[in-house]
């Protein structure tokens, strides 16, 4: 039994090491289209991660997220929508339904992940890590929590659902991390 416990402790330490060294870039999602979506793909770029839902009172925020993506993607920003059905069953659809909803209603073309859990014991590891980095208040406590991750993979800030994606404080946080205007970014 001791050997098993020691092996489990070692495995946990090995799995935690990449997150400690690489921050958010240590985590992988599945893109809404079904292929792996490693956050390491966005290393060197600021990342705004938002847990989303199609039937929420905050769903209209997709429009502002798309505007942020359109305004800042050439300077390096990546907006990542992470659908979740954790709050009020407000994201009941399939990946295809979610993608179609976002494209049809909000012209979303920023990356989306497949639906995941963002709270509780089965939460996606990124959200567990974000709470560890930013504190328990970082939640998420509802849909459309926003998490800003620096180009180095470090958790920088979070904002609750009630803060609009294009609010002054969110935009200021993004702009501090962006490449200077006119500089080319990686795609």
Per the annotation, the verdict on 102 as an active-site residue is no
pLDDT in tens, the chain (187 residues): 554 344 434 444 444 444 556 799 999 999 999 999 999 999 999 999 999 999 999 999 999 999 999 999 999 999 999 999 999 999 999 999 999 999 999 999 999 999 999 999 999 999 999 999 999 999 899 999 999 999 999 999 999 999 999 999 999 999 999 966 665 545 4
How many CB atoms are closer than 10 A to CB 91?
22
Tell which CATH architecture fits domain 23-177. 3-Layer(aba) Sandwich (3.40)
Which tokens hold the place of 157? 């800030």
Active-site residue, from 19, 50, 56, 78: 56
pTM for the model stands at: 0.86
Which tokens hold the place of 176? 């501090």
Q: Containing H/E element for 80?
A: strand 78-83
How many CB atoms are closer than 10 A to CB 177?
22
| Per-residue confidence (pLDDT) for residue 170, from 0 to 100 | 98
Spell out the domain ranges in the chain.
23-177
For 64-185, strand residue ranges (E) read 78-83, 146-149, 155-159
Residues in the chain: 187
| Residues near 59 by beta carbon (within 8 Å), at least 6 away in sequence | 52, 53, 143, 144
């Amino acid at each position: 039994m001791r050997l098993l416990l020691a092996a489990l402790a070692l495995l946990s330490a090995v799995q935690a090491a990449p997150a400690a060294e690489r921050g958010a870039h240590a985590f992988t999602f599945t893109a809404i289209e079904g292929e792996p979506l490693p956050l390491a793909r966005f290393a060197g770029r600021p990342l705004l991660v938002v847990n989303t839902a199609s039937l929420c009172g905050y769903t209209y925020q997709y429009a502002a997220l798309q505007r942020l993506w359109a305004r800042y993607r050439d300077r390096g920003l990546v907006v990542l929508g992470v659908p979740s059905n954790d709050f009020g069953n407000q994201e009941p659809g399939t990946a295809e339904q979610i993608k179609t909803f976002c494209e049809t209603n909000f012209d979303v073309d920023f990356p989306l992940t497949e639906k995941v859990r963002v709270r509780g014991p089965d939460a996606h590891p990124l959200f567990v890590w974000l709470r560890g980095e930013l504190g328990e208040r970082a939640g998420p406590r509802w849909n459309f929590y926003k998490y800003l991750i620096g180009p180095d993979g470090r958790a920088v800030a979070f904002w609750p659902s009630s803060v609009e994606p294009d609010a002054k404080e969110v935009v200021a946080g993004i702009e501090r991390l962006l490449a200077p205007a006119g500089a080319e970014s990686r795609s």
